[in-house]
């Protein structure tokens, strides 16, 4: 799906397209809503649900990571253990949630945040969907 931007009344609108789901082994990850529209400075929240709990009692952490992938670049780890920012991740990005329900919030979104955002099972280690080789996530276009 092609989602474009438009400029009107000195306002730039950014469109958010979320691909519905991805899988990692036996656990299915589902992101929603399907689409969100926001403007620079807005707060945007993306949700991720796992088909079973990602809580690991061995370290009392949730094994959920969020990634950002910009066009032509490899995915970058933003958040690990559901709510811990990777070194270099701006403070406007925050993760929350536990068990099966998680969220990534971007507070005061910037134009440079245009990218694909994906939740993945595990602390880190981005992978592709094994069925079709595509990444699933929230696509932010500008």
pLDDT band, residue 139 (cuts 50/70/90) = low
Instruction: Tell me the pLDDT tens digit for each residue of 79-132.
Output: 999 999 999 999 999 999 999 999 999 999 998 888 888 999 986 544 444 333
Nearest to 136 by CA among 72, 42, 49, 15: 49
Q: Which residues contact 74 (CB under 8 A, 6 or more apart)?
A: none
**Structural domains in the chain, sorted by start:** 12-141 (2.60.40.10)
**Percent of the chain residues topping a pLDDT of 70:** 65
CA-based angle 82:71:33, to the nearest 5? 45
Residue 12: per-residue pLDDT: 37
Q: For residue 4, what pLDDT band results from cuts at 50, 70 and 90?
A: very low
Q: What is the pLDDT of residue 20?
A: 40
Tokens 């400029």, residue located: 7
Residue 68: band (very low, low, confident or very high) from pLDDT cuts 50, 70, 90? very high
HSE (side-chain half, CA atoms, 13 Å) at 40: 12
State both tokens at 15. Answer: 């469109």
pLDDT value at position 124? 56
So what's the pLDDT on residue 8?
A: 46
């Amino acid at each position: 799906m092609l989602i474009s931007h438009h400029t009107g009344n000195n306002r730039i609108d950014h469109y958010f397209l979320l691909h519905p789901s991805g899988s990692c082994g036996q656990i299915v990850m589902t992101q929603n809503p399907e689409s969100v529209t926001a403007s620079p400075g807005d707060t945007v929240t993306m949700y991720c649900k796992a088909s079973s709990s990602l809580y690991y009692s061995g370290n009392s952490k949730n094994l959920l990571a969020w990634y950002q992938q910009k066009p032509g670049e490899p995915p970058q780890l933003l958040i690990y253990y559901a709510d811990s920012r990777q070194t270099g991740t701006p403070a406007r990005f925050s993760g929350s949630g536990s068990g099966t329900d998680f969220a990534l919030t971007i507070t005061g979104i910037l134009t440079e945040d245009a990218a694909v955002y994906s939740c993945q099972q595990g602390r880190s280690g981005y992978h592709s969907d094994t069925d079709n080789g595509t990444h699933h996530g929230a696509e932010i276009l500008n």
